[in-house]
Amino acid sequence: MNKIICITGASSGVGLATALTFARNGWTVYAGTRNLERDQAQFATEGNLHFLEIDVVNPDSIERAMHVIAEEQGRIDLLFCNAGFGFIRTLGQASFEQIQSVFDTNVYGVMHTIRAALPLLIKAESGHIIATSSVGGLVGQPLNEIYCASKFAVEGLLESLATYYKPLFNIDVTLIEPGAIETQFVKTALDQVAATGGVLDDEYKPIVETYIDMFTKRNAVSQTPESIADLMLELTQMETKPLRIRTSEAAERFVNHKVQEDPTGLKGIAQTRKIQLGLE
């Protein structure tokens, strides 16, 4: 039986690499994009790769996509909540609308997507939800407080779901936690700074300039989106799925002080299940 994956944020970077890799490996891929015509024409070269209009801040678009998958396949084996973007403004500088827009995509977008896909995941009888978190979902970083808070929220959401989705629905839950990846991510974040007045001439300026300089140079230690796509495939083959997994050695080193007691998160889930649900 062929397997079905649905991916959000599949127009570039990690999402696109995962869509292409899974399609080449025989999966039926539903790839969410905000540029349907462009991506269908440019990337849907494999017969089993289908682009669908999904803007994760628009729950109706997600519902419509799930309706198509329900009609064509009747289930989803793997839901990949990947759409997201970085944000570099301090809490003191950002407008509430900017903060809200980060959470609309990075947090509420994940919630909308899981809610809409849940009936199809349950129908798979052994579904898997994976979300793209970040090392910033485990370790708070300077000038990244809004982005990190959004990824901490995703971590809290999926960790909580993991405590009962497996015993109740046989759905595994995994957070992938990358460090730097060579995608549009840095450009998008820096473009947004440029489009909203550039580096502001305020008390944060010296630290912002240093940070942006280091942020721009981080490609030296970054990994390719294709390497993440390969890890995604490996995850599908693991008998016991981790709750959390870093995607590179650099990412592992960066968060080690937070996860060394329980690197996969499975110990913590087992403990919470036992205390709060009485499950062994």
Ligand X SMILES: NC(=O)c1ccc[n+]([C@@H]2O[C@H](COP(=O)([O-])OP(=O)(O)OC[C@H]3O[C@@H](n4cnc5c(N)ncnc54)[C@H](OP(=O)(O)O)[C@@H]3O)[C@@H](O)[C@H]2O)c1
Residues that are catalytic: 147
Query: In which element (H, E) is residue 53 found?
Result: strand 49-53
Q: Pick from 5, 65, 180, 229 the residue near ligand X by CB under 6 A.
A: 180
**Cα–Cα distance for residue pair 249/257, rounded to 1 Å:** 14
Give whole-number Cα distances, 140 to 44, 112, 212, in Å. 38, 25, 16
- Using CB under 6 A as the binding rule, the residues of this chain from 1 to 60 that contact ligand X are 8-9, 11-15, 34-35, 54-57
CB 223 within 8 A of CB 247: yes
The footprint of ligand X on residues 156-175 (CB under 6 A) is none
State the nearest-atom distance from the C-beta of 203 to ligand X, in Å: 27
User: Should residue 134 be labelled a site residue for ligand X when binding is judged by CB under 6 A?
Assistant: yes
- Work out how close the CB of 71 gets to ligand X at its nearest, in angstroms, rounded to a whole number: 22
Asked whether position 264 contacts ligand X by CB under 6 A, the answer is no
Neighbours of 251 (CB within 10 A): 23
In sequence order, the 6+-apart residues with CB closer than 8 A to the CB of 63 are 116
Cα separation, 56 vs 84, in Å, equals: 9
Query: Which residue lies nearer to ligand X by CB, 73 or 105?
Result: 105
**Member of 138, 181, 208, 232 binding ligand X (CB under 6 A):** 181
How do strand 172-177 and strand 128-132 relate by DSSP bridges? Answer: parallel
CB of 134 to ligand X, least distance (A): 4
Applying CB under 6 A, which part among 21-29, 88-96, 184-192, 260-268 lies near ligand X? Answer: 184-192
Q: How many residues bind ligand X (CB under 6 A)?
A: 29
Considering only the stretches 77-85, 115-123, 195-203, 204-212, report the one whose residues sit in contact with ligand X under the rule CB under 6 A. 77-85
Q: Which contacts qualify for 67-72: CB closer than 8 Å, 24 or more apart?
A: 68/30, 69/4, 69/6, 69/30, 69/120, 70/119, 70/120
Q: In what order do the strands lie in the sheet with 78-81?
A: 49-53, 28-33, 4-7, 78-81, 128-132, 172-177, 244-246
Residue whose beta carbon is closest to ligand X: 13
Residue span 210-239 as binding mask against ligand X, x where in contact by CB under 6 A, dash where not = ---------------x--------------
Which of 105, 144, 163, 174 is the binder for ligand X (CB under 6 A)?
A: 105
Minimum gap (Å) between residue 277 Cβ and ligand X: 30
Give the shortest CB-172-to-ligand X separation in angstroms. 19
CB atoms within 10 A of CB 252: 17
Angle, CA of 41, 219 and 131, to the nearest 5°: 60
List residues binding ligand X (CB under 6 A): 8-9, 11-15, 34-35, 54-57, 82-85, 105, 109, 132, 134, 178, 180-181, 183-185, 188, 225
